[in-house]
Structure 1
Amino acid sequence: MHVLNLGILAHVDAGKTSLTERLLHSVGVIDEVGSVDDGNTRTDTLALERQRGITIKSAVVSFPLDDVTVNLIDTPGHPDFIAEVERVLGVLDGAVLVVSAVEGVQAQTRVLLRTLQRLRIPTLLFVNKIDRRGARTEEVLRAVSARLTPAVVPMGTATGPGTRAARFVPGLDPAAAVDVLTGHDDDLLAAYVEDTVTDTRLRAALRAQTRQALIHPVYLGSAITGAGVAALLSGIRDLLPPAGGDPDGPVSGTVFKVERGPAGEKIAYARMFSGTLRVRDRIPFGPDREDGRITAVSVFDRGTDARAEAVPAGRIAKLWGLADIRIGDALGEPRKAHEPFFAPPTLETVVVPGPGVPKPALHLALTQLAEQDPLIGLRHDEARQETSVSLYGEVQKEVIQATLADEYGLDVTFRETTPLCIERPVGTGAAVEFNQKDPNPFLATVGLRVDPAPVGSGVRFRLEVELGSMPYAFFKAVEDTVRETLGQGLSGWQVADCTVTMTHSGYSPRQSHAHQGFDKSMSSTGADFRGLTPLVLIEALRRAGTRVHEPMHRFRVEAPADTAGALLPALAGLGAVPRSTETRGDTCVLEGMVPAARVHAVEQRLPGLTRGEGVWESSFDHYAPVTHGSVPRRPRTDHNPLNRKEYLLNVTRRVGGRGGRD
């Protein structure tokens, strides 16, 4: 039996979880269709998900579809939880992207399809809610073609849209299909010109191009009434590719979710790409490739999961026994690492414990939440005894607050949300400190040069010294410390897009006395290089200079044309800069840029400015230099290499010459 790992994705409220319920009911896995409003769906298991009617964590449920076992992964639709979607994308064989026939193409819909196309994940589109009042099937199909992708092939038509009697009538329009398919198939174009295209040839091309993620078949229907769902299931079975992987090959898998069981044990959700993982196997995992022993395996089948002795390539399983496992860890042979699919969080807030909440308990709870969502990005300030979390938006903050209250019994509030800025070097700077020369108290020579690099290139470390000039472990200590130190630049922000070159190196060889062991006071250790590197790097950064950049969102707003006169100055007052204005009949469309820090304020003001008719969408676009007000600074949580005296007190407990060493 083939396996297909299928993701269901959508903008929030498009009906993604309802569609999951309908699919499970249609194949006989559940007897009754659950309701998001009633809080009894199969995949929204968290109490908070049931209360709010939104998906927060991805969930896996399996069902048989003729000769295919489908592992269906329901993902969050709200953009604040895009990190959860990112983790799932890397384990999918195919996807269904849900679009609402009422709301149409929305902000998250566009972000998701762009990402699915970039990753070449075969994707079907399902236009949901054709039974709802206000359903605009033809208009939505035109919007899909204009705003998502023209590479769509309608698989039928809708009758009676906007009524409970709405139905999907399957039927491929050969002319429309050929128009799209011939763009990627010259032989099909030649056959079309010669009028020799058969239905079999057309469907073969449709299947092949869908599996190559070149085109996207579109179905219409209703998750509530079941209209169109049978046709969608046929498309999932016939058009999407089965999972690959050799069960007899080397073991290789990826962990995309981690949760804790009733006893606090970690449970890892993993997709196996190769080999077979068995109970009692020892498996290397994570960046440090430490070994862990699998104590139990559970595979998904017919709506639930059941214990098994092994999980082969292509399947998804729950694994027990890996105490230090983290999301994103590779099991066995690592696969090629991918660049992040989505933008990083652009906001940050400090978690404030309520009266009587012990700070150690709060820190432990936040650490466990970060295990399940690494992009929460905990940042602990020992001096101020404060913990910050990074965020995608205000809803995520509310969910963290509710989770801490419901699952840990911890009452917290938050400080005002602030943008997560970055720093970029504006010039070149170099610094060096030599071994056994004042004021260097470390047995190490480190010279570093910082150069600006192209936007988006990240941080690169390179050598201008011979690799054999000192032990490799010392070079590794310098590089690791460089990357760690760049987490807090001159203004306290992450330093991005630069090249750091090691220009000088030196060390004191291992010393020992007769009949005695290693003399640490006369021999360089990795600690010397880890201690000296931040001082040299910060000095080089100081000489290069850095500029703070704030995150900017690209926005698009549709509103009644007669509200533009009030909308434009209000947007400007909130820091938004419209780049284009277009009037389409009685609707105006504004596009431009807005600081991430002001997005929430704009969203709150928009209904009042547009009589509740404004439609806003925004997503991260780039970082721009801060040009207004004072340069934002972020409190440091390191030993503060900006202040040499303070730093040396923290690191070596002594100031000035070497004197002696800890």
Structure 2
Amino acid sequence: MITPLLARIRNIGIISHIDAGKTTVSERILYYTGEIHKMGEVHDGEAVMDWMPQEQERGITITATANSCTWRDCRINLIDTPGHIDFTIEVERSMRVLDGGIAIVSAVEGVQPQTESVWRQADRYRVPRICFVNKMDRIGADFAAVLSSIESRLKVRVVPVQLPVGSEAGFIGVIDLLAEELVLFSEADRGMTVERLPISLEYEKEAAAARNLVVEAAADFDDRVLADYLAGVKISAERLIPALRQGTVSCSICPVYCGSALRNKGVQPLLDGVVDFLPSPLDLPPVTARPPGGGETVAVPCDPASPLVALAFKVLAEEGRRLTYLRIYAGKLSSGAAVFNGSSKVLERADRLFHMHAHKREQIGEATAGDIVAVTGMKHTLTGDTICAPSHPLVLEGLTVPEPVVSVAVEAKGAEDRERLPEALETLQWEDPTFRVHEDRETGETILTGMGELHLEIVTDRLKREYGIGVKIGPPRVMCRETLRRPVTRRELFAQEVNGRLQKGEVLLSIRPLPRGEGIRIIGPLGESSPLPLEMQTALEESLRSACASGGRTGYPYADLEVEVVEVPFEPGITTEMGIRAAAHRGFARAAEEGAPIVLEPVMALEIITPAEYAGRVLGQIQQKRGRVEGLAVWSENQIISAQVPLVEMFGYMTELRSATRGGGSFTMQFDHFQEASAEVRKGSGLV
């Protein structure tokens, strides 16, 4: 593939709630751009982007999948992301490296909970977006209601650049408000032929009013457009597009398209929107990085002539070898090149480079700034690591990794399975940062921890299919946290002879509880002002973080604590790194025992959709589960109930909900916060 100019690259992701149609839209994009010659359907298990057996069987996307295609001389690097909350890390790492996004919203359900979650993830990384209101052919489709839902729930200014023509079964096409044309899609060739006609008289008035709103939005970003608008001058699409693009790239507005991907209507104009409104790598501010040892932040411009800087945002195991996905921010990367991992400070080699087409590879010789590629040969690189030129080591900002909240005990079925299980679990851990494995200190069981029951179900299914390992799975458990009720200060001295050498270290720690959701914060005399050598400072911080992660009496990790290193006496030639580590770890553990430890349980945010006649029963269920109702809303003939419920109460809830609503109810949930656990949970954890 010929490398296009940077201005002709679009790195985009498709994001939304589960079942809004992301993969179907992706499939149409690949078909209409000529990347594939047969459209596969999700419900048939034949979609190109859903290549894992687990995805094909369940009809859902589990892993973010990359592909490349070309539209209007632009290369589009496309990532289709999952919509299920259990696989939110796939969205997180995609948003970290993408330049733009397409948010898919169902014309029937409107903005759903996971759409809000992925929208917030995109907000965190300042990713410009356009929206596509899908399923306009479905019963109950309401374009105006969806626009209102997007504005109210996503807190964004929408600019509809299309209007639907017809609705539900009568949906036949769209009105292009920029070009002022009626756009129809041929059913004879699956929408490949696009016909543009004058707007019919019955839609002229509505289209003129809607276009006026588009011009008003464009005038906010272009003074000349504003002047002509005030003077009543007709403004062409060619003048409106750059102004709207400016507003989109700055995340000030969100252009909205509509259609029905399953019925092959509306996808080509959406592709035009990707080219017209979403940014190239040159349109965004430079990313920032620091030297590996700390120091001043430096800007990294998107320049192929600069030293290499790239972020590893995904790592996969393929046939026993690592495949590392990179977003290249600066410089060039060639096959066989030696590179430096600025995060782990080791040299790596990029054996071969590929452009990915789902799970198929297209080998290339070189990749440049702005590109997204996969690399083989990197043995030590993990998700979030920075790859750079050995002569210019840098570290980019990593990823925000959500904390897993559900655990199960796992046991190998046979002796051969038992031998191979640890290696397979290690591989799955470096593939997925939200998947954790540890051994229960009391029972000796191997505990798998993930984002939810489906996440862990997929993991165990992969153990069987990909690694041939049979396992027995215990019932799901809630992964709680531990924190302190009161502040405590403790001085700890460690002095012990190990292998004939005195290991000595001393620390004075002050530990204070923080408000919920603050995490772990370590402060103190670290950095250039500290008397400790840099390697001992690193050892001290690592030891404290390890102590927080290993937990206290319950074995649950600590949360919401500020650990202040008040003093670290240093005696040259006497204070040792091992002594510092031991003093910090033991000092933290003993201080925590004195701080009145308490257990925190995870609380989930629920959105329940139920027929209005059964809403009373559902509200009763929530109360029985120690839940708190946050809001009620009406959508069509259904009621939407927002609530917060402890996770321990939610196992098996789908069966209860279906029974209460005669099969008409559904729900989604995601982690919201930790709160002090109930007496029953505290008793089960051994901390009353």
Normalised to the residue count of structure 2, the TM-score between the two structures is 0.83
Give per-residue Cα distances to partners, 1:296-339, cap 9 Å, x unaligned.
11235899642222211011111121111211111115454256
Q: 1:221 aligns with which of 254, 259, 262?
A: 259
The offset of 1:447, in angstroms, is: 2.4
Amino acid at match of 1:250: P
Q: After superposing the two structures, state which structure 1 stretch, 447-456 or 360-369, moved more.
A: 447-456
Q: Is contact 2:481–2:557 with CA below 8 Å preserved after alignment?
A: yes
- Look up the match of 1:256: 313
- Look up the match of 1:127: 133
Give per-residue Cα distances to partners, 1:435-494, cap 9 Å, x unaligned.
6599xx952223222123344443333335995645443333222111100111343222
Give per-residue Cα distances to partners, 1:162-204, cap 9 Å, x unaligned.
2286322322432222455566778866664443572354333
Check if 1:375 corresponds to 2:434.
yes
Q: 1:462 aligns with which of 523, 547, 550?
A: 523
1:252-291 matched pairs, under 5 angstroms = 252-262=309-319, 264-285=320-341, 287-291=343-347
When residues 301 and 551 of structure 1 are mapped into structure 2, their CA distance, relative to the original with a 3 A threshold, is: closer
Q: Is contact 1:61–1:304 with CA below 8 Å preserved after alignment?
A: no
1:314-393 matched pairs, under 5 angstroms = 314-332=370-388, 333-338=393-398, 340=400, 343-356=402-415, 358-381=417-440, 384-393=443-452
1:135-214 matched pairs, under 5 angstroms = 135-163=141-169, 166-172=172-178, 173-178=210-215, 180=217, 192-196=229-233, 198-199=235-236, 200-214=238-252
Flag structure 1 segments of 5+ consecutive residues without an equivalent. Answer: 511-522, 637-662
Amino acid at match of 1:499: E
- Look up the match of 2:193: none
Q: Is contact 2:408–2:475 with CA below 8 Å preserved after alignment?
A: yes
When residues 606 and 531 of structure 1 are mapped into structure 2, their CA distance, relative to the original with a 3 A threshold, is: same
1:54-133 matched pairs, under 5 angstroms = 54-133=60-139
The offset of 1:545, in angstroms, is: 2.4
Q: After superposing the two structures, state which structure 1 stretch, 39-48 or 186-195, moved more.
A: 186-195
Q: After superposing the two structures, state which structure 1 stretch, 243-252 or 531-540, moved more.
A: 531-540
Query: How far apart in 1 are the matches of 2:422 and 2:634?
Result: 51
Q: Is contact 1:62–1:69 with CA below 8 Å preserved after alignment?
A: yes
Check if 1:592 corresponds to 2:649.
no
Amino acid at match of 1:329: D
Normalised to the residue count of structure 1, the TM-score between the two structures is 0.86
When residues 326 and 429 of structure 1 are mapped into structure 2, their CA distance, relative to the original with a 3 A threshold, is: same
Q: 1:19 aligns with which of 20, 25, 35?
A: 25
Amino acid at match of 2:362: A
When residues 229 and 533 of structure 1 are mapped into structure 2, their CA distance, relative to the original with a 3 A threshold, is: same
Check if 1:491 corresponds to 2:554.
yes
Amino acid at match of 2:232: D
Q: After superposing the two structures, state which structure 1 stretch, 175-184 or 79-88, moved more.
A: 175-184
Q: Is contact 2:385–2:398 with CA below 8 Å preserved after alignment?
A: no
Amino acid at match of 1:542: E
Give per-residue Cα distances to partners, 1:75-124, cap 9 Å, x unaligned.
11221111111111111111111122233322211212232233221111
Amino acid at match of 2:235: T
- Look up the match of 2:458: 399
Q: Is contact 2:315–2:431 with CA below 8 Å preserved after alignment?
A: yes
Amino acid at match of 1:269: Y
Check if 1:478 corresponds to 2:531.
no
Query: How far apart in 2 are the matches of 1:509 and 1:303?
Result: 55
Amino acid at match of 2:279: P
Query: How far apart in 1 are the matches of 2:681 and 2:139?
Result: 50
- SS of the residue corresponding to residue 594 of structure 2 reads helix
- Look up the match of 2:348: 292
Identity of aligned residues (%): 30
The offset of 1:35, in angstroms, is: 1.6
- Look up the match of 2:479: 420
Q: Is contact 1:6–1:94 with CA below 8 Å preserved after alignment?
A: yes
Q: Is contact 2:630–2:644 with CA below 8 Å preserved after alignment?
A: yes
Q: Is contact 2:509–2:587 with CA below 8 Å preserved after alignment?
A: yes
When residues 551 and 250 of structure 1 are mapped into structure 2, their CA distance, relative to the original with a 3 A threshold, is: same
Check if 1:247 corresponds to 2:285.
no
When residues 416 and 289 of structure 1 are mapped into structure 2, their CA distance, relative to the original with a 3 A threshold, is: same
Q: Is contact 1:81–1:392 with CA below 8 Å preserved after alignment?
A: yes
Q: Is contact 1:347–1:597 with CA below 8 Å preserved after alignment?
A: no
Check if 1:555 corresponds to 2:606.
yes
The offset of 1:344, in angstroms, is: 2.6
- SS of the residue corresponding to residue 217 of structure 1 reads strand
- SS of the residue corresponding to residue 511 of structure 2 reads strand
Query: How far apart in 1 are the matches of 2:360 and 2:42?
Result: 19
Q: 2:365 aligns with which of 301, 309, 325?
A: 309
- Look up the match of 1:443: 504
Flag structure 2 segments of 5+ consecutive residues without an equivalent. Answer: 179-209, 283-301
When residues 565 and 470 of structure 1 are mapped into structure 2, their CA distance, relative to the original with a 3 A threshold, is: closer
Q: After superposing the two structures, state which structure 1 stretch, 600-609 or 320-329, moved more.
A: 600-609
The offset of 1:495, in angstroms, is: 1.6
- Look up the match of 1:541: 592
Q: After superposing the two structures, state which structure 1 stretch, 56-65 or 594-603, moved more.
A: 594-603
1:581-660 matched pairs, under 5 angstroms = 581=632, 587-631=638-682
Q: Is contact 2:245–2:276 with CA below 8 Å preserved after alignment?
A: yes
Query: How far apart in 1 are the matches of 2:45 and 2:437?
Result: 31
- SS of the residue corresponding to residue 42 of structure 2 reads coil
Query: How far apart in 1 are the matches of 2:606 and 2:219?
Result: 35
Give per-residue Cα distances to partners, 1:234-257, cap 9 Å, x unaligned.
111111111231001121111122
Query: How far apart in 2 are the matches of 1:504 and 1:452?
Result: 20
Query: How far apart in 2 are the matches of 1:417 and 1:96?
Result: 35
- SS of the residue corresponding to residue 327 of structure 1 reads coil
Amino acid at match of 2:556: W
When residues 605 and 289 of structure 1 are mapped into structure 2, their CA distance, relative to the original with a 3 A threshold, is: same
When residues 190 and 390 of structure 1 are mapped into structure 2, their CA distance, relative to the original with a 3 A threshold, is: farther
Query: How far apart in 1 are the matches of 2:114 and 2:280?
Result: 27
Q: After superposing the two structures, state which structure 1 stretch, 331-340 or 264-273, moved more.
A: 331-340
Q: Is contact 1:454–1:497 with CA below 8 Å preserved after alignment?
A: yes
Query: How far apart in 2 are the matches of 1:321 and 1:368?
Result: 15
When residues 591 and 187 of structure 1 are mapped into structure 2, their CA distance, relative to the original with a 3 A threshold, is: farther
Q: After superposing the two structures, state which structure 1 stretch, 55-64 or 451-460, moved more.
A: 451-460
Query: How far apart in 2 are the matches of 1:304 and 1:526?
Result: 47
Q: Is contact 1:268–1:318 with CA below 8 Å preserved after alignment?
A: yes
Amino acid at match of 1:486: C
Query: How far apart in 2 are the matches of 1:459 and 1:118?
Result: 20
- SS of the residue corresponding to residue 311 of structure 1 reads strand
When residues 321 and 501 of structure 1 are mapped into structure 2, their CA distance, relative to the original with a 3 A threshold, is: same
When residues 206 and 437 of structure 1 are mapped into structure 2, their CA distance, relative to the original with a 3 A threshold, is: closer
Query: How far apart in 1 are the matches of 2:359 and 2:636?
Result: 49
Query: How far apart in 1 are the matches of 2:223 and 2:596?
Result: 55
Q: Is contact 2:89–2:434 with CA below 8 Å preserved after alignment?
A: yes
- SS of the residue corresponding to residue 97 of structure 2 reads coil
Query: How far apart in 2 are the matches of 1:395 and 1:257?
Result: 20
When residues 142 and 41 of structure 1 are mapped into structure 2, their CA distance, relative to the original with a 3 A threshold, is: same
- Look up the match of 1:652: none
- SS of the residue corresponding to residue 562 of structure 1 reads helix
- Look up the match of 1:452: 513
